């Protein structure tokens, strides 16, 4: 057992006197006794297990001490951080708004007012004399709260009422309320400690909402509430007893059906109910079957289903309204081994497919009359594109959002009948931004097994490719989430100071198709980490990055990525930024009482099986910390994080302090009033970005 400081108070007194040149605080050690975990004949001893006791004053004191140390260590960059915040803030148009969309006789949009942290949710009737209405003023609603999230806003079919959810803690427990949009009054209905998700039935008085398990936070129940009745009388309409599944509820785009989906990593099950019969019984669309994934939408006299049935990269099938089992499924878009069907959007007379090939997403429009399909074309070398708000079925116009590493997010209206396109809104970037000053590239980098891994990167035109530039490599690589090449206005502060910014599209995402995901999960998870390392090496070899100026960044499962890469190749990185990192993989996956565990056995494996235990132990960043030199490291977390509990990064940093042999900066910054997404608000979040950028800039080699 390691020695333990006699009191966290002593640590706080010590830290109050440190300067930017001070040594790091000693790590906390085991309180009372170390925590030993034995399974499969193997015992793991965790000296820092006690840090999970959120209500213990000594835990909070430790986190505050680390915050004080981080602040002292970064004190020399205070001016730079202020400059960065000012730059990022000055690029944002203060009175910006989103592109309005039309639904049920009203135009809806969000807008910001100068100085406001949160959006105003607005609408206007679709007539010439109509005035703007503010449905929700986020700034007014957030007054007095250190954290604020408005979610689940759904307007009733008759456009008279709106349900909404508010969270002021950051742990994603919302309170649902209903507002009369004509009078501005809140109805008496108040549903506490729910997910924030809700769907209206067509009677405009019945709501369906979801509840999470209060301990594991798994969304496991769907309830029905009639306005004006006590919450105690609400009816449970579905309960998901399989702990590997979560459920959700929504109304189909056609408004005809209410749908409940139960989903896990490799299986889905959808239930249907006519939306004009809210007290009826939901029926199963297709019973769950392990390995069968599917999603459903309604269009006219058929259901459309995206499924992996006999289709690794998914296919689109249809079935009649009265026969929905898979025996009735017929191909609309067959499976293609080189194209991943990511999703689809339905209209009355059109079908739009989001398809990914060669690592990039494309939008393909299919007319309902069987005419020729049309694929939208884009000119950038790498990009991200997706359908935007398209709530109306009876429309010939597709709204989509396009962005690239050099193109700010832009919403277009594409007339599917005439193929004419109109730009509705481009995010304005102030401060003299000119896309011509930057150049983007799309590379293919060979991994150690010969697989070509895509890399998207951007730099200023004046930044040379001669091996002298610092480079920040970002990655994620889990859950099949593909990382699009999106514009990042904040990152201009790095690019304008000579950095190159790159995204490694490693296995574990789906950039190159479904197999790309399969080859980066479970017992192939190490591919994710070695791909990232090999991309970093290649960028140095190709002289995009200085050998002493390669940096890594990732968040959540991306924090696992950079943590594992740092253990495997510590000498490759000059610095690492890990946001809310998932780094204590084995302990978390053995604890089915905490959020996300049971639903992720098919992502990481179940360590109660020795094969998975041994494999995840081999890469878990916390377990693999050794007595060796590590790169400089900045770690961020949130006390109320419901996805990656704060104690994972806290324990990781403590163990690194105890074992590392280097004297590089090692900083832990805990946001004590936020969760997984960090600080809320339009401008306050910039302070966290500025901290990370100042950390990187302070480590970058002189040029």
Give the C-alpha distances (Å, rounded to integers) separating 605 from 45, 154, 475, 556, 612: 21, 37, 21, 18, 5
According to CATH, the superfamily of the domain at 151-292 is Prolyl oligopeptidase, N-terminal domain (2.130.10.120)
**So what's the pLDDT on residue 24?**
57
**So what's the pLDDT on residue 172?**
81
**So what's the pLDDT on residue 678?**
52
Long-range contacts of 316-319 (CB under 8 A, 24+ apart): 316/341, 316/344, 316/353
Q: Is the pLDDT of residue 31 over 90?
A: no
Site of tokens 């408005």: 150
Residues 6+ apart with CB under 8 A from 323: none
Q: Is the pLDDT of residue 280 over 80?
A: yes
Q: Is the pLDDT of residue 4 over 60?
A: no
DSSP code for 200: E
**So what's the pLDDT on residue 20?**
35
Residues 6+ apart with CB under 8 A from 436: 461
Residue 80 Cα to chain centre, angstroms:
28
Tell me how crowded residue 569 is: count the other CB atoms within 10 A of its CB: 18
By mean pLDDT, which of 291-300, 471-480, 591-600 is the weakest?
591-600
pLDDT band at 238 (very low <50, low <70, confident <90, very high): very high
- Residue 617 — left, alpha, or beta (φ > 0 → left; ψ -120 to 50 → alpha)? alpha
Q: Where are the alpha helices (DSSP H) in 466-556?
A: 492-495, 514-518, 526-541
Q: Is the pLDDT of residue 350 over 90?
A: yes
**So what's the pLDDT on residue 185?**
97
Q: Is the pLDDT of residue 122 over 50?
A: yes
Q: Span 8-22, mean pLDDT?
A: 34
Q: Is the pLDDT of residue 418 over 50?
A: yes
Q: Is the pLDDT of residue 26 over 80?
A: no
The chain-wide mean pLDDT, for the chain, equals 92
Q: Is the pLDDT of residue 682 over 70?
A: no
DSSP character string of 267-293: -EEEEEEETT-TTS--EESS---TT--
Q: Residue 495: what are its φ and ψ, rounded to 5°?
A: -60, -40
CA angle 586, 482, 638 (to 5 degrees): 50
Alpha-carbon distance of 501 to 340, in angstroms, equals 27
Per-residue burial over 128-157, b if 16 or more Cβ lie within 10 Å, else e, is eeeeeeebbbbbeebeeebbbbbebbbbbb
Alpha-carbon distance of 388 to 398, in angstroms, equals 8
By mean pLDDT, which of 214-218, 221-225, 339-343 is the weakest?
214-218
Question: Which structure tokens are listed for 295?
Answer: 């999603």
Q: Span 678-687, mean pLDDT?
A: 71
According to CATH, the superfamily of the domain at 8-89+432-699 is Alpha/Beta hydrolase fold, catalytic domain (3.40.50.1820)
Alpha-carbon distance of 542 to 552, in angstroms, equals 17
Residue 263, CA atoms < 13 Å, CB-side half-sphere: 12
By mean pLDDT, which of 6-10, 297-301, 408-412 is the weakest?
6-10
Q: Span 75-87, mean pLDDT?
A: 96
Alpha-carbon distance of 280 to 291, in angstroms, equals 30
Give the C-alpha distances (Å, rounded to integers) separating 220 from 173, 230, 244, 245, 263: 14, 21, 10, 8, 10
Contact 689/501 with Cβ under 8 angstroms? no
Q: Which residues pair with 304 in a beta bridge?
A: 297, 318
Alpha-carbon distance of 48 to 97, in angstroms, equals 47
Per-residue burial over 595-622, b if 16 or more Cβ lie within 10 Å, else e, is bbbbbbbbbbbbbeeeebbebbbebbbb
Site of tokens 């983007």: 440
pLDDT by residue (tens digit) across 567-583? 999 999 999 999 999 99
Query: Of 112, 69, 106, which Cα lies nearest the Cα of 89?
Result: 112
Q: Is the pLDDT of residue 28 over 60?
A: no
CA angle 268, 256, 152 (to 5 degrees): 65
Residues catalogued as catalytic:
556, 641, 676
Question: Which structure tokens are listed for 578?
Answer: 């890990």
Alpha-carbon distance of 251 to 616, in angstroms, equals 39
**So what's the pLDDT on residue 598?**
80
Residue 592 Cα to chain centre, angstroms:
22
By mean pLDDT, which of 26-35, 96-105, 180-189, 297-306 is the weakest?
26-35
Question: Which one is predicted more confidently, 242 or 55?
Answer: 242
Q: Is the pLDDT of residue 642 over 60?
A: yes
Q: Is the pLDDT of residue 11 over 70?
A: no
DSSP code for 507: B
By mean pLDDT, which of 36-45, 434-443, 491-500, 638-647 is the weakest?
638-647
Residue 121, CA atoms < 13 Å, CB-side half-sphere: 16
3-state secondary structure 357-418: ECCEEEEEEEECCCCCCEECCCCCCCEEEEECCCCCCCCCEEEEEEEECCCCCEEEEEECCC
Contact 526/619 with Cβ under 8 angstroms? yes
**So what's the pLDDT on residue 594?**
75
Q: Is the pLDDT of residue 145 over 50?
A: yes
Q: Span 545-571, mean pLDDT?
A: 97
Question: Which one is predicted more confidently, 378 or 641?
Answer: 378
Q: Which residues pair with 200 in a beta bridge?
A: 207
Sheet with 330-333: list strands edge to edge.
294-299, 302-307, 315-320, 330-333
Q: Is the pLDDT of residue 1 over 60?
A: no
CA angle 468, 474, 477 (to 5 degrees): 145
Q: Span 42-47, mean pLDDT?
A: 94
Give the C-alpha distances (Å, rounded to integers) separating 700 from 24, 48, 79, 695, 703: 21, 32, 17, 9, 9
**So what's the pLDDT on residue 25?**
59
Question: Which one is predicted more confidently, 31 or 74?
Answer: 74
Q: Span 185-200, mean pLDDT?
A: 96
3-state secondary structure 206-252: EEEEEEECCCCCCEEEEEEEECCCCHHHCEEEEECCCCCCEEEEEEC
Tell me how crowded residue 295 is: count the other CB atoms within 10 A of its CB: 16
Q: Which residues pair with 345 in a beta bridge?
A: 352
**So what's the pLDDT on residue 681?**
60
**So what's the pLDDT on residue 597?**
80
Note the pTM of the prediction, 2 decimals.
0.91
């Amino acid at each position: 057992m390691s020695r333990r400081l006699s009191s966290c108070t002593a640590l706080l007194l010590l830290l109050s006197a440190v300067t930017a040149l001070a040594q790091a605080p000693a790590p906390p050690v085991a309180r009372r006794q170390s925590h030993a975990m034995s399974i499969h004949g193997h015992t793991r001893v965790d000296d820092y297990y006690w840090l999970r006791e959120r209500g213990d004053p000594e835990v909070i004191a430790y986190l505050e001490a680390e915050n004080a140390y981080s602040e002292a260590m970064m004190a020399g960059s205070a001016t730079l951080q202020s400059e960065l915040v000012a730059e990022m803030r000055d690029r944002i148009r203060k009175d910006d708004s989103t592109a309005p969309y039309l639904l049920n006789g009203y135009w809806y949009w969000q807008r910001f007012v100068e100085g406001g942290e949160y959006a105003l949710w607005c609408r206007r009737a679709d007539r010439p004399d109509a005035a703007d209405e503010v449905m929700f003023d986020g700034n007014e609603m957030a007054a007095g709260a250190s954290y604020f999230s408005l979610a689940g806003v759904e307007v009733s079919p008759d456009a008279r009422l709106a349900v909404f959810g508010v969270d002021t803690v950051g742990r994603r427990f919302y309170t649902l309320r209903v507002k009369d949009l004509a009078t501005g009054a809140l109805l008496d209905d108040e549903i506490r400690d729910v997910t924030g998700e809700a769907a209206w039935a067509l009677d405009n008085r019945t709501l369906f909402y979801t509840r999470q398990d209060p301990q594991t936070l798994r969304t496991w129940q769907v309830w029905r509430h009639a306005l004006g009745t006590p919450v105690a009388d609400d009816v449970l309409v579905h309960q998901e007893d399989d702990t590997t599944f979560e459920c959700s509820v929504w109304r189909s785009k056609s408004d005809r059906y209410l749908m409940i989906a139960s989903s896990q990593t490799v299986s889905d099950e959808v239930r249907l109910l006519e939306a004009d019969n809210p007290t009826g019984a939901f029926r199963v669309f297709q019973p769950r079957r392990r390995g069968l994934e599917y999603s459903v939408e309604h269009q006219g006299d058929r259901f459309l289903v995206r499924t992996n049935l006999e289709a690794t990269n998914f296919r689109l099938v249809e079935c009649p309204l009265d026969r929905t089992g898979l025996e009735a499924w017929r191909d609309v878009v067959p499976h293609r081994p080189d194209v991943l069907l990511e999703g689809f959007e339905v209209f009355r007379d059109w079908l739009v497919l989001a398809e990914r090939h060669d690592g990039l997403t494309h939008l393909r429009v299919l007319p309902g009359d069987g005419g020729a399909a049309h694929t939208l074309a884009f000119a950038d070398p790498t990009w991200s594109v997706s359908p935007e708000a398209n709530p109306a079925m009876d429309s010939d116009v597709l709204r989509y959002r396009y962005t690239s590493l050099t193109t700010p997010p832009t919403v277009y209206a594409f007339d599917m009948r005439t193929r004419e396109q109109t730009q509705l809104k481009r995010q304005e970037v102030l401060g003299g931004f000119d896309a011509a000053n930057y150049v983007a590239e799309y590379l293919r980098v060979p991994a150690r097994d010969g697989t070509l891994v895509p890399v998207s990167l951007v730099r200023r035109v004046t930044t040379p490719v001669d091996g002298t530039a610092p480079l920040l490599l970002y990655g994620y690589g889990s859950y099949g989430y593909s990382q699009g090449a999106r514009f990042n206005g904040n990152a201009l502060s790095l690019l304008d100071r000579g950095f190159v910014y790159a995204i490694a599209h490693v296995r574990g995402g789906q950039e190159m198709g479904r197999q790309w995901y399969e080859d980066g999960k479970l017992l192939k998870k190490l591919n994710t980490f070695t791909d990232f390392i090999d991309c970093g090496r290649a960028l140095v070899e190709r002289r995009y990055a200085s050998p002493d100026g390669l940096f890594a960044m990732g968040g959540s499962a991306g924090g696992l990525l950079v943590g594992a890469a740092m253990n495997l190749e510590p000498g490759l990185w000059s610095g690492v930024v890990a946001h809310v990192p998932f780094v204590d993989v084995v302990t978390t996956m053995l604890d089915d009482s905490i959020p996300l565990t049971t639903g992720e056995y098919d992502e990481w494996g179940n360590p109660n099986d020795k094969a998975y235990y041994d494999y995840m132990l081999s890469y878990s960043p916390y377990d693999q910390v050794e007595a060796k030199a590590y790169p400089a490291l900045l770690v961020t977390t949130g006390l109320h994080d419901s996805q990656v509990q704060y104690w994972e990064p806290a324990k990781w940093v403590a163990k690194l302090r105890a074992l590392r042999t280097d004297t590089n900066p090692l900083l832990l910054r805990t946001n004590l009033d936020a969760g997984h997404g960090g600080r809320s608000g339009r401008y306050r979040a910039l302070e966290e970005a500025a901290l990370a950028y100042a950390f990187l800039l302070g480590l970058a080699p002189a040029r």
